[in-house]
A and B are shown apart, each in its own frame.
Chain A
Amino acid sequence: MKRITFRELTPMTTGWLALMGALLVVAAIAGAAVLYMEHQGHWVTGMTNQVVWGTPHVFAIFLIVAASGALNVASIGSVFGREPYQPLGRLSGLLAIALLAGGLAVLVLDLGRPDRLIVAMTHFNFKSIFAWNVILYSGFFAIVGAYLWTMMDWKMKGYYKGAAVTAFVWRLVLTTGTGSIFGFLMARDAYNSAVMAPLFIAMSFAFGLAAFILVVMGAYAGSGRPVAPELVTRMGRLLGLFCAANLYFVAVQHLTALYMADRGAVEAFILADGGIYTLLFWGVQVALGGLVPMAILFSKNATRCTVRFAAILVMIGGFAQVYVILIGGQAFPLNLFPGMEVSSSFQDGVVGTYAPSLPEVLLGIGGFAVAGLITLVGATFLRILPDSLAAD
Chain B
Amino acid sequence: MTETTRRDLLKGAAGAVVLAPGLTLIAAKAQARAPGSAASAANRFGLLIDTGKCDSGCTACVDACKTEMGLTGHDRPATDVQYIRKVNVKDPATGAAHSVPVMCQHCAKPPCVDVCPTGASMKRADGIVLVDRHICIGCRYCMMACPYKARSFAHEDQTNQREANPRGKGCVEACTLCAHRIDAGAKPACVEACAATGKAAILFGDLADPNSELSRRVAAEASTRIRADLGTGPAVRYQGI
Residues of A343-367 whose CB lies within 8 A of B:
343-348, 352-353
Nearest opposing residue in chain B for A48, CB measure: B78
CB atoms of B76 and A50 under 8 A apart? no
B152 within 8 A of A: yes
Whether A341 contacts B92 in the complex (CB less than 8 A), given A111-B137, A187-B111, A346-B149, comes out as: yes
Q: Mark A100-119, 1 if CB is under 8 A from B, else 0.
A: 00000000000111101101
Nearest opposing residue in chain A for B140, CB measure: A52
CB atoms of B79 and A49 under 8 A apart? yes
A165 within 8 A of B: no
Whether A123 contacts B149 in the complex (CB less than 8 A), given A40-B156, A41-B156, A112-B154, comes out as: no
A259 within 8 A of B: no
Q: Least Cβ distance of A370 to chain B in Å?
A: 20
Q: Among B78, B116, B153, which residue has its beta carbon within 8 angstroms of that of A128? A: B116
CB atoms of A52 and B170 under 8 A apart? no
CB atoms of B117 and A117 under 8 A apart? no
Q: Mark A181-216, 1 if CB is under 8 A from B, else 0.
A: 100111110000000000000000000000000000
Q: Least Cβ distance of A64 to chain B in Å?
A: 14
Q: How many Å lie between the Cα of A41 and that of B141 in the bound state?
A: 18
Nearest opposing residue in chain B for A38, CB measure: B170
B208 within 8 A of A: no
A131 cross-chain contacts in B, Cβ below 8 A: 117-118
Q: How many Å lie between the Cα of A108 and that of B42 in the bound state?
A: 40
CB atoms of A128 and B89 under 8 A apart? no
How many interface residues does B have (CB within 8 Å)? 58
B65 within 8 A of A: no
A129 within 8 A of B: yes
B145 within 8 A of A: yes
Residues of A146-201 whose CB lies within 8 A of B:
181, 184-188
Q: Among B120, B141, B143, B148, which residue has its beta carbon within 8 angstroms of that of A336? A: B148
Of A117, A124, A345, A352, chain B has the most CB atoms within 10 Å of the CB of A345
A330 within 8 A of B: yes
Q: Least Cβ distance of A180 to chain B in Å?
A: 11
Q: Among A111, A124, A343, A344, which residue has its beta carbon within 8 angstroms of that of B139? A: A111
A244 within 8 A of B: no
Nearest opposing residue in chain B for A329, CB measure: B144
CB atoms of A336 and B102 under 8 A apart? yes
CB atoms of A49 and B78 under 8 A apart? yes
CB atoms of B119 and A123 under 8 A apart? yes
A134 within 8 A of B: yes
A50 cross-chain contacts in B, Cβ below 8 A: 78, 149
Q: How many Å lie between the Cα of A345 and that of B84 in the bound state?
A: 10
Nearest opposing residue in chain A for B139, CB measure: A111
Residues of A13-62 whose CB lies within 8 A of B:
38, 40-43, 47-50, 52-53
Q: Least Cβ distance of A324 to chain B in Å?
A: 16
B85 cross-chain contacts in A, Cβ below 8 A: 344-346, 348
Q: How many Å lie between the Cα of A128 and that of B227 in the bound state?
A: 22
Nearest opposing residue in chain A for B76, CB measure: A43
CB atoms of B156 and A128 under 8 A apart? no
B230 cross-chain contacts in A, Cβ below 8 A: 186
B32 within 8 A of A: no
CB atoms of B82 and A346 under 8 A apart? yes
Q: How many Å lie between the Cα of A276 and that of B114 in the bound state?
A: 32
CB atoms of A112 and B139 under 8 A apart? yes
B216 within 8 A of A: no
B227 cross-chain contacts in A, Cβ below 8 A: 335-336, 338
Nearest opposing residue in chain B for A131, CB measure: B117
B74 cross-chain contacts in A, Cβ below 8 A: 43
29 contacts between A and B (CB under 8 A): A40-B156, A41-B155, A42-B170, A48-B78, A49-B78, A49-B82, A49-B143, A49-B151, A111-B137, A111-B139, A112-B154, A112-B172, A113-B171, A119-B118, A125-B116, A125-B118, A127-B114, A128-B116, A130-B115, A185-B111, A186-B145, A186-B230, A187-B146, A187-B147, A336-B87, A337-B226, A344-B85, A344-B87, A346-B85
Q: Beyond the given A43-B74, A43-B156, A112-B136, please list 15 additional residue pairs across the A-B interface where CB-CB is below 8 A.
A: A48-B79, A49-B81, A49-B149, A53-B140, A116-B138, A120-B139, A123-B118, A127-B113, A128-B115, A336-B148, A340-B89, A342-B88, A344-B85, A344-B102, A345-B85
Question: Which A-B residue pairs are the 6 nearest by beta carbons?
Answer: A112-B138, A112-B170, A130-B117, A41-B156, A43-B155, A48-B78
